[in-house]
Structure 1
């Protein structure tokens, strides 16, 4: 460790980092002072101390808000990561002292939620009944962001960009088939043939444009010379998607594992439209070069025991 690093570690305090983190989110020093139970002059002095210690201005003072400088953004990102790790450490320590097994934060894409994920969590809770499990259910791009910020220990999902392989390791577990579907009473539900050109003119429920599934749909449209789906609602919520399809007559695309029961019951209908380029395998994603904690390693072991290479979800 350099002399500068030693000096910073010895003098930089969590209170400085909490101030920077809170101010980065709100941009209002008065509000931050109230949150931290101190006077505004005391908060101003603490910020000045942090800037003096770091030798750089962290915020630009503007009439309506405090705005991060480039260096301030770097420091605020570090503060947020460290505070999350500190809070997670404190929660896990309290859990262990109470006779539990600590805590584990995981993320998962929606394809895993009907079967694999609940079974894996149930098995993990059998092994470690007092472990606190925090779950984020989202699209792969959101999970990778959470993983990069140390908000979760691992993710069940897929890499979304070639550059992701530089930051993350992935252990493939299974594949998933995507279905385009409607409500069972939709005019297209009984059709034996439907084209993407027809569907492109109808209202859709889609994931955000950064998600792998959304990119696949747009790639399929582009290869058929069709434009974007302009009549759309965007959401990451499975429940909102299903309700909009069933009650608002919209078109959507979801994994087979989520839809198979609803189609069998006659609530939804799979449309005879094939997506020619299905998504790659989903797997266990971890930060590159990082050894999983005991809790994370146990969960990974459970996932491996419940899947076979190339198995299809649903």
Structure 2
């Protein structure tokens, strides 16, 4: 709910005090201004947020749901505002913060304006007003564009998370009023895309046939950035050990084994037994550095030893790996579950080789303190039920 921030502060004050009079004193605005703010929010929510009685104002279920999200949003936003200027908590607007996010991400006023559907001077004025209140520049003007300062980056991230929380509140209100609002955004790592996610979505669709779902793929670093900005609800895939940063939480779902695979006519398949040392003579298709799969691959071969493969192709594409294995003597190192269907179809074969412990944990990654909407919680339940169906 991208409502006026001052209106939301007034709403929260009424929720906490049960009084227009006390709320107006807390917010340093007139009583009619508080009354008008509540009415505007109710029109936007299409629901009454308070019951008016002779003893005061009491929150309705819709008001209680909204208050929880608004309080969390300001808990995320206000420390960043206070860090920059004492009055910014009162003066900063949603429009200014939206412009800040757009300029930070595009590094250009014109591109930011185009993204927001506004005139370039409007975006420029919003940033200028913020900078005047803070008393310093939020961007460094360089030949490569408008580069956000550290202060601007911190405020941008706080605003992104606050707005994400308000969007969650809008979804909660819709749920309460019998409307389907919002969407689910999943950061899908390779194993989840090929095995878990399709089954979980199909199960979830039995309950929610129309709620939009967006499955994003890409490098882990990009998915984590999206998660921490509030653009992604959760990630599904190989967990990192240790977690890359302290503001995320990883929840294990199951363990997955990594295996060596090859084409159906690979020379090693004709041998009665295969030793690890023999594998170094062949070219490999492996995951990129920094991934759990690559870490496991590196551990198989002692650094600097003569048994370490010297020909590597790094990729996150299972399709590329499969095609290379089918037309050459390349070997692949990949999740056994991820490649299982290709093995059953005869597209590739698994080498009969004992590798020792090559297990890794597959799980969920969420923001610390994240509270899912009802629809998001139902999706996670469908996901866990899918994992249970797959067995050990």
Say whether the fold is shared (TM-score over 0.5).
yes
2:214 is paired with a residue of what secondary structure? Answer: strand
Which residue pairs with 1:302 in the alignment?
382
Residues 273/248 of structure 1: CA separation in 2 closer, same or farther (3 Å cut): same
Larger of the two Rg values belongs to structure = 2
Is residue 2:327 matched to residue 1:217?
A: no
Higher mean alpha-carbon deviation, 155-164 vs 120-129, is at 155-164
Measured on the aligned residues, the alpha-carbon RMSD in Å equals 3.7
Matched with 1:27 is: 107
Gaps of 5+ in 1: none
1:205-284 maps to which residues of 2 (within 5 A)? 205-222=285-302, 225=305, 231-247=311-327, 249-284=329-364
Please state if 1:58 is matched with 2:138.
yes
What is residue 260 of structure 2 aligned with on the other side? 180
- Once the two structures are superposed, the pairs formed by residues 1-314 of structure 1 within 5 Å of their partners are 4=82, 7-36=87-116, 42-82=122-162, 99-100=179-180, 102-137=182-217, 143-164=223-244, 166-222=246-302, 225=305, 231-247=311-327, 249-308=329-388, 311-312=391-392
Q: Distance in 2 between matches of 1:95 and 1:13?
A: 27
Alpha-carbon distance in structure 1 between the residues aligned to 2:116 and 2:221? 33
The DSSP-based 3-state class of the residue aligned with 2:260 is: strand
Could you say what secondary structure the match of 1:225 adopts?
coil
What is the Cα deviation at residue 32 of structure 1?
3.6
8 A contact 1:177–1:278 mirrored in 2: yes
SS of alignment partner, residue 302 of structure 2 = helix
Partners of 1:102 and 1:30 in 2: CA distance: 28
CA distance in 1, matches of 2:348, 2:239: 30
Question: By percentage of residues, which structure has more helix?
Answer: 2
- Cα distance change of structure 1 residues 71 and 171 upon mapping to structure 2, 3 Å threshold: closer
TM-score by length of 2: 0.65
Shift of 1:126: 0.6
- Distance in 2 (CA, whole Å) between partners of 1:150 and 1:6 is 26
1:240-285: per-residue Cα shift (whole Å, max 9, x none)? 3322333455322222223223223322121233432323332333
Partners of 2:284 and 2:313 within 8 A in 1: yes
Once the two structures are overlaid, the 10-residue window that deviates more, 103-112 or 194-203, is 194-203
* Matched position secondary structure for 2:254: strand
Compared with structure 1, are the counterparts of its residues 293 and 42 closer, same or farther at alpha carbon in structure 2 (3 Å cutoff)?
closer
Residue 28 (structure 1) shift: 3.3
Q: How many positions carry a matched residue from both structures?
A: 312
Distance 1:25 1:33 in 2: 12
* C-alpha displacement of 1:218: 1.1
Larger relative contact order (Cα-Cα within 8 Å, sequence gap ≥ 6)? 1
Q: Residues 59-118 of structure 1: CA distance to partner in whole angstroms, max 9, x if unpaired?
A: 212244322322233234334545666677778989999953642222333323444332
TM-score, normalising length: structure 1: 0.79
